[in-house]
Amino acid sequence: MKRIFMVLMAAVFMMIPFSCPAADISLQQQVYISSVRWYAGAAQSANKISALHAGDTYGTVTALVEVAKNTAAAPVNGTMLIGEVLDENGNVTDRVFRSARLADKTIHELTFQRVQPKTVRDKLRIYLWDGVAAMRPLAQVQELYTTSELVDETARDMQTIRERIAKDFNLYSTTANPQSLLNKLGSDGRFNDIDYTSHAQTTWTVSNALTNVTTMLKAYYSEGNSWYHNSELFEKCELVLRDWAQHKDEYYSTNWWYQSIDVPKKMSTILLYPLPEDADYLPALQAEAKEGLPVIDESKPHKTVGSNGTGGNLTDALQIAVKIAAATDDADSMKNIVQYLLDNELSVFSHGGGGEGIMIDGTFHQHGDLFYSGSYGSVFCGGVNMILGYLADTQFMVSERALGAYADFILDGHSWLFRANGSDFACFGRAISRNGGVGGSVRNDSLGAANILLSVPGLERRQELLALKNNRLSGTDAGFNGAKHFWTSDFTAIHRNDFYVGIRNSSSRNKNTEYMNGENSKGYYIADGATVIMKTGREYYNIFPCWDWSKIPGTTTAYVPFANIPAPAAEKGAKEFVGGVSNGLYAVTAMDYSHNGVTAKKANFVFDQGFTALGAGITGSGSSEVFTTLNQCLLNGNVQYSGDGTNVQTLAKADERTVEGVSWVLHGGVGYYFPENQNAVIGNNTKSGTWRSINSSQNASTVTQDIFALSLSHGTGPQDDTYAYTVLPSATANSLAAYRQNPDMVEVSNTAKCQAVWSKQANSAGIVFWSQGIQNYKESVTLPAAVTGMDSDLTITAEKDPCIVLLTKKGNQWELCVSNPKNTSLASTIISIDRELSGSGAVTENGKTTVTMDLPQGLEQGKTAIVTLTEVQ
């Protein structure tokens, strides 16, 4: 029947006198055009067309015609919209007609198929024919010189956003095949492999019904697909959608994430398809999608109520919100989403009191004071990158200020956390327990952000972003030398041409980690000095099921079975004296450590070739053996060691064993040097485990890995023990033998009062003046001339407060860097140096210079203060 009707209409179409008069108004009803919007492109449907620009060519032209009418008059039946495309000479080059029941403000779509691409210098004429009277023009001739002349800017921008979303979410596919889904679909609109009664907290599968129906809709709406406009398929789609609409209140998980993010996200994709406007199920689906829309509350820091999420969760919600606004052509909602929420979220938020989002130092926090750059930070970046991609070059783009803040976050924070395709595992929170959870996401986030930001003209830090993209993001980390201490998150990142080191410490200001939803059940020690050493970026990839979680690299911990360790849901560190100092190239970190019966003063001193790690005051109150772990990574070649520094032995493959009198160990091009020979526990063996053992939602299959491990035992119940070792990430057996004869980084002091290291190559001293809880604080350290190579010994004193110091001699100048690791509102501190120096805050008397250092305040408490001093001649 439909085919007969189309043939008849085609015949009528050919008979229509297109040269009809310009103003036949014999009909009682006045019908007219309120707007015509033109779009063009070689797309399959109106949802995939591209905005027309001057000089473009096209194969398909679509006109969206909005009709208004005088509703007081009698209805016009049997109407037809007819369109003509005219070239520059007035010749009709294409015609199209569409039967239409005219309702007020109805949008009608006329698509013209062009055989040969033409330029945009064409014209459009639209007619109405009611089957009785002569044709009359419904719209004036439109000239297609530029889009801006033809299309309302807001409508054009909304269409652009819809097209980008459609492309990004792959709404159309000629190969989508729903047959297997149809085989599982019952007459009630439910799939027989889904338990619709489930309300599971994790791995809730009921929302898979929405994923399934999306595949079905994709096949139905995609031109060129064998299922295109298959009426039986669409009836099945409607069965699923109607069932969901009728029972949506029964389909829920006890995990808020599914209801607030997962279901609305999937529903917003469904709503991008041109479902029938009069479908009985549509209002319920739209209502459920809108449950994912954040509620704007300008009185809140994140401009939305807490239940709508912040940071990564909020950007998840904003992606959904943008999709919903685009799918419903709601420009006002789009503006509000961007202006009040996204623009605001690209800001620095306060640390403490549960502050989440971008921190002042460039890290990212989620779930309160928890360093989460590598997981929720990636979710945040992924969401922001996606939304900015949709909004680019439209009136809805975020402000210049917000774009600058995002560039700062990428350049000064996020891009510091990866090496090649590997990310720092210590900043991933519970995602560390997911298969593939720690990979190249941080690098990918940074690349996506750079691409988006570089498309913005006039961005202030454009050259830095371009350098990042062309170098590190193009596959090489060579040329990136730097060190940065992130004072808000107790984290330090170090980059050199051929290695990366990340150090994560634990303080009373921040949560250590979290155990939620059955994830990260063994992550108890992850913030206790975790030290990530990467050259290739693959050193730890998916090692975690086979890890010994009591021996996380860099930690000093009691070795206990994890069945006896409480879930670290929201635990913070015990001590406040935790921090670091950096001059951009070198760094010192310090952690006053107390956890699970073990206390220690732990410090790391980072210079050109690597870092020296010192531990003092190591005390264990329990009955468990205490270990300091240097590394535990995937095995990469032989494990070599030496006792005298020259004679090299290769460790046979076996379980971990204690090797006595070790001077150095070499594995994977990374050398571990001991200033005094140690009895080292070295592992070179195969270990097995399951992802399920660390994450209840993961696979229970056994995973086997070859693993290298290196640790030092402090015995059971140690009292005031110490350790000292140097890590050289670019080492060979020969270079380690040479280093032993002439070490660059020399331990000067390693006590619970002061730890200090001098680097000959850097001409620099790193010092930690530990807090002793005494009034009139004063602590000194003397660097012997035999170590520094200077004419005389060098004494440095903390005159007023405990602090961390980095002092570097550069010719006749001295760069003094100081930080307050307690991150308190200490206004200043005093450092004295037994040399005659001049500079800001410096007073010299009797051959000694006393420097009063003003310390950063507010959100920058704990940040490094730097002053340059000059030798007095």
- Give first-to-last CA distance, the chain, whole Å: 104
pLDDT at residue 755 in the model: 98
pLDDT at residue 328 in the model: 79
Compute the distance between CA of residue 310 and CA of residue 142 in angstroms, rounded to an integer. Answer: 47
pLDDT at residue 329 in the model: 80
Note the pLDDT tens digit of each residue in 476-525.
Answer: 887 899 999 999 999 999 999 999 999 999 999 999 998 888 899 999 99
pTM: 0.79
H or E element: which one contains 446? helix 441-454
Residue 159 dihedral angles phi and psi, to the nearest 5°: -65, -40
Written as one string, the DSSP assignment of 492-524 is EEEEETTEEEEEE---TTSB----BTTB-TT-T
Residue 664 contacts residue 673 (beta carbons within 8 Å): yes
Tokens of 150: 């033809």
Name which of 66, 121, 135, 122 is nearest 94 in CA terms. Answer: 122
Tokens of 286: 């739209």
pLDDT at residue 477 in the model: 83
Rounded to 10 degrees, the C-alpha dihedral 261/267/269/272 comes to: -140
Compute the distance between CA of residue 734 and CA of residue 712 in angstroms, rounded to an integer. Answer: 24
Compute the distance between CA of residue 837 and CA of residue 828 in angstroms, rounded to an integer. Answer: 19
To which residue do tokens 């829920």 refer?
A: 252
Residue 445 contacts residue 415 (beta carbons within 8 Å): no
Residues of the chain under the 50 pLDDT cut = 1-35, 37-59, 70-78, 114-120, 131-151
Give me the residues paired with residue 805 across strands. 767, 818
Note the pLDDT tens digit of each residue in 572-599.
Answer: 999 999 999 999 999 999 999 999 999 9
Tokens of 611: 């870092």
pLDDT at residue 558 in the model: 96
Give me the residues paired with residue 683 across strands. 709
